[in-house]
Structure 1
Amino acid sequence: MGQIMSISKVKPGMELAEDVMNHNKSILVKKGFKLTDRIIEMLFNKYNVKEVVIKIVHNQAPKNFSKKETNLSSQHYAKNKLAFLDSTDHLEMIKKEIEKVGKLMIETNFVRHSIKVEKIFMKAIQQEQIIELLLKLRVISNNGKENLHRYIKTSLLATATGINLNLDEDNLLLLARASLVYDIGNCIIDQNLLNNNSLLPKNDKKKLEEHVIAGFQILQHKFPKEICLPAYQHHERFDGSGYPNGLENDQLHLFSRIIGIVDVYTALSSNRPHRSAYPTNEVIEFLLGSGDVLFEYKIIVEFLSIINIYVAGSFVLLNNGDIGIVSEINGNPLGKPKVKLLYDKEWRNLNGKEVDLSRNPLYFIKKVID
Structure 2
Amino acid sequence: MRVVDIETVEPGHYLGKTIYAMNGTVLLSAGVQLTVYMINTLKRIGVTSIYIKDPLTEDIELEEILSEETKRALIRNMSETMNEIRSGKPFNSRSLSLAVDDLLEDVLQHREVLIQLNEIRTQDNAEFVHAMNVCMVATLVGLNMDLNAQQLKELATGSLLHDVGKAIAAKAGEGDTPRHHAWLGFELLKARRELSLLIAHVALQHHEHTDGTGAPRGLVGDQIHLYSRIVAVANMYDNLLQQESDGRFILPHDACERMLAMSGKELDHEVLVHFMQIVSLYPNGISVRLSTRETGVVVGQHRGLPGRPVIRLLAKEGENHSESREIDLAKTPTVFIEQVLS
Q: In which range does the TM-score fall when normalised by the shorter chain?
A: 0.5 to 0.7
In the alignment, structure 1 residue 175 sits paired with structure 2 residue 189: no
Q: Judge conservation of contact 2:282–2:307 (CA < 8 Å) in 1.
A: yes
Aligned to 2:226: 254
Aligned to 1:133: 81
Match of 1:288 among 260, 272, 295: 260
In the alignment, structure 1 residue 220 sits paired with structure 2 residue 190: yes
Shift of 1:354: 1.7
Aligned equivalents of 1:262, 1:295: Cα separation in 2: 10
Aligned equivalents of 2:334, 2:264: Cα separation in 1: 23
- Equivalences, count: 246
Amino acid aligned to 2:254: E
Q: TM-score scaled by structure 1? A: 0.54
1:59-78 equivalence runs, <5 A: none
Q: Judge conservation of contact 2:85–2:168 (CA < 8 Å) in 1.
A: no
In the alignment, structure 1 residue 232 sits paired with structure 2 residue 186: no
Structure 1's unaligned 5+ residue stretches are 1-92, 102-106, 193-203
Aligned equivalents of 1:161, 1:316: Cα separation in 2: 27
- Superposition RMSD on alpha carbons, in Å? 4.3
Aligned equivalents of 1:189, 1:182: Cα separation in 2: 14
- For residues 249-305 of structure 1, what are the alpha-carbon distances to aligned partners after superposition, in whole Å with 9 as ceiling and x for unaligned? 210111100000000101111258xx8531111101111222222212221121232
Aligned equivalents of 1:283, 1:292: Cα separation in 2: 16
Structure 2's unaligned 5+ residue stretches are 1-20, 30-60, 89-121
Higher mean alpha-carbon deviation, 255-264 vs 223-232, is at 223-232
Amino acid aligned to 1:363: F
Larger Rg: 1
**Greater RCO, 1 or 2 (C-alpha within 8 Å, sep 6+):** 2
Aligned to 1:153: 133
1:1-370 equivalence runs, <5 A: 108-111=62-65, 133-136=81-84, 143-190=123-170, 207=178, 210-222=180-192, 223-270=195-242, 277-308=249-280, 310-312=282-284, 314-318=285-289, 322-342=294-314, 352=325, 354-356=327-329, 360=333, 363-364=336-337, 366-367=339-340, 369=342
- Cα gap change, 1:359 to 1:139, in 2 (>3 Å): farther
Aligned equivalents of 2:144, 2:324: Cα separation in 1: 39
Percent of aligned pairs sharing the same letter: 23
Q: Judge conservation of contact 1:109–1:311 (CA < 8 Å) in 2.
A: no
Q: Alignment partner of 2:204: what SS?
A: helix
Q: Judge conservation of contact 2:24–2:75 (CA < 8 Å) in 1.
A: no
Q: Judge conservation of contact 2:305–2:330 (CA < 8 Å) in 1.
A: no
Aligned equivalents of 1:146, 1:186: Cα separation in 2: 14
Q: Judge conservation of contact 1:110–1:310 (CA < 8 Å) in 2.
A: no
Q: Judge conservation of contact 1:322–1:343 (CA < 8 Å) in 2.
A: no
Aligned equivalents of 1:289, 1:281: Cα separation in 2: 13
Q: Alignment partner of 1:305: what SS?
A: helix
Aligned equivalents of 2:279, 2:273: Cα separation in 1: 10
Q: TM-score scaled by structure 2? A: 0.58
Q: Alignment partner of 2:146: what SS?
A: coil
Aligned equivalents of 1:170, 1:339: Cα separation in 2: 39
Shift of 1:143: 4.4
Aligned equivalents of 2:275, 2:216: Cα separation in 1: 24
Q: Judge conservation of contact 1:236–1:242 (CA < 8 Å) in 2.
A: yes
Q: Alignment partner of 2:219: what SS?
A: coil
Amino acid aligned to 1:221: A
Amino acid aligned to 1:338: V
Aligned equivalents of 2:337, 2:232: Cα separation in 1: 26
Which is helix-richer, 1 or 2?
Answer: 1
- Cα gap change, 1:166 to 1:368, in 2 (>3 Å): farther
Shift of 1:366: 3.9
- Cα gap change, 1:359 to 1:290, in 2 (>3 Å): farther
Q: Alignment partner of 1:216: what SS?
A: helix
Higher mean alpha-carbon deviation, 275-284 vs 183-192, is at 183-192
- Cα gap change, 1:364 to 1:225, in 2 (>3 Å): farther
Q: Judge conservation of contact 1:151–1:180 (CA < 8 Å) in 2.
A: yes
Q: Alignment partner of 2:314: what SS?
A: strand
Aligned to 1:62: none
Amino acid aligned to 1:236: E
Q: Judge conservation of contact 1:133–1:181 (CA < 8 Å) in 2.
A: no
